[in-house]
């Protein structure tokens, strides 16, 4: 019974992969809802102007208003980002225990009595991953602000009406919605995987010293060619070692997925005794 030919039949792996993807998508929707609310309020305030002409004075006032709105939004969403981080960190550690238990039972017929609460306590969340998440959102906000300012300047040069200018600014945000969603999904996937790795390290320290890591790749119409190649290679490394493989002539090196934006690969445990 080959490990990689069999893992698709291990229901906990597919269940966890689907759960994580669902949480990532739902989190992206929740955050996007906050941005849409801020956009609507800003547009409504801007359209209160009785004069439909667009002047340089209006542009300067709007930029100040934009900066204030973005700062307020950053303050408002920070607790939400922290909640996303904390929840995904716990899910990662809990899933590490569930997967090791399921695979050990399937391949070795053994139930390992692991104390999940102890493993969660000893698997501290990596604040570096939260800082990355927050930094990515800050960068997105700055990029969004710059896009708004470019549009305001362009509208002034083109002598557009104020109502058209407001509409064009809304389009700047609408066209960047997918970027925000991608950032949230990618960063949360990284947090999940990093926390899962911490769980594996705790399990290795307390129960299974030979525990390693590998990857599970959900296969469907959205699976990238690089993920298909990584799946064929059956990458297996020590918990403290990076995954490495070449794709299109370039070496890919990473400790845990995602290896790139929208990478849905799932970090899973591995033992040599599970090989056959």
Percent of the chain with pLDDT over 90: 83
Confidence of residue 6 (pLDDT cuts 50, 70, 90): confident
* Predicted confidence (pLDDT) per residue in 35-82, tens digit: 999 999 999 988 887 789 999 999 999 999 999 999 999 999 999 999
Helix (H) or strand (E) holding 67: helix 56-108
User: Which tokens go with 159?
Assistant: 């002598």
Please tell me the predicted confidence (pLDDT) of residue 89: 94
State the chain's mean pLDDT as an integer. 93
The residue among 3 and 210 whose pLDDT is bigger is 210
* Predicted confidence (pLDDT) per residue in 126-172, tens digit: 889 999 999 999 999 999 999 999 999 999 999 999 999 999 999 99
Q: Is 246 exposed, middle or buried (0-12, 13-18, 19+ CB in 10 A)?
A: exposed
Q: At 269, phi and psi to the nearest 5?
A: -80, 165
Q: Is 249 exposed, middle or buried (0-12, 13-18, 19+ CB in 10 A)?
A: exposed
Please tell me the predicted confidence (pLDDT) of residue 276: 65
Confidence of residue 1 (pLDDT cuts 50, 70, 90): low
Q: Residue 222 pLDDT > 80, yes or no?
A: yes
Please tell me the predicted confidence (pLDDT) of residue 5: 83
Nearest to 179 by CA among 261, 77, 256: 261
Please tell me the predicted confidence (pLDDT) of residue 221: 82
Q: Residue 8 pLDDT > 80, yes or no?
A: no
* Predicted confidence (pLDDT) per residue in 233-266, tens digit: 999 999 999 999 999 999 999 999 999 998 999 9
């Amino acid at each position: 019974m080959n490990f990689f030919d069999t893992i698709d039949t291990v229901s906990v792996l597919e269940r966890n992969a689907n759960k994580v993807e669902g949480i990532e998508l739902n989190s992206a929707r929740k955050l996007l809802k906050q941005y849409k609310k801020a956009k609507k309020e800003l547009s409504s305030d801007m359209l209160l102007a009785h004069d439909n002409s667009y002047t340089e004075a209006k542009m300067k006032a709007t930029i100040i208003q934009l900066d204030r709105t973005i700062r307020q939004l950053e303050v408002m969403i920070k607790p939400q980002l922290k909640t996303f981080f904390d929840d995904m960190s716990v899910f990662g550690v809990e899933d590490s225990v569930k997967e090791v238990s399921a695979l050990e039972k399937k391949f070795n017929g053994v139930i390992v009595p692991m104390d999940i609460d102890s493993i969660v306590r000893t698997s501290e969340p990596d604040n570096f991953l939260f800082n990355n998440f927050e930094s990515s959102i800050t960068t997105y906000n700055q990029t969004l602000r710059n896009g708004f300012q470019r549009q305001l300047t362009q509208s002034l040069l083109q002598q557009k009406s104020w109502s058209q200018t407001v509409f064009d600014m809304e389009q700047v945000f609408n066209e960047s919605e997918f970027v925000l969603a991608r950032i949230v999904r990618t960063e949360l996937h990284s947090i999940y995987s990093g926390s899962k790795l911490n769980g594996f390290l705790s399990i290795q320290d307390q129960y299974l010293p030979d525990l390693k890591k590998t990857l599970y790749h959900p296969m469907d119409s959205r699976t990238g060619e690089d993920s298909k190649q990584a799946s064929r290679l059956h990458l297996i490394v020590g918990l403290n070692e990076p995954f490495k493989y070449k794709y299109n002539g370039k070496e890919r090196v990473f400790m845990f997925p995602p290896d790139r934006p929208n990478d849905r690969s799932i970090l899973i445990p591995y033992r040599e005794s599970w090989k056959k």
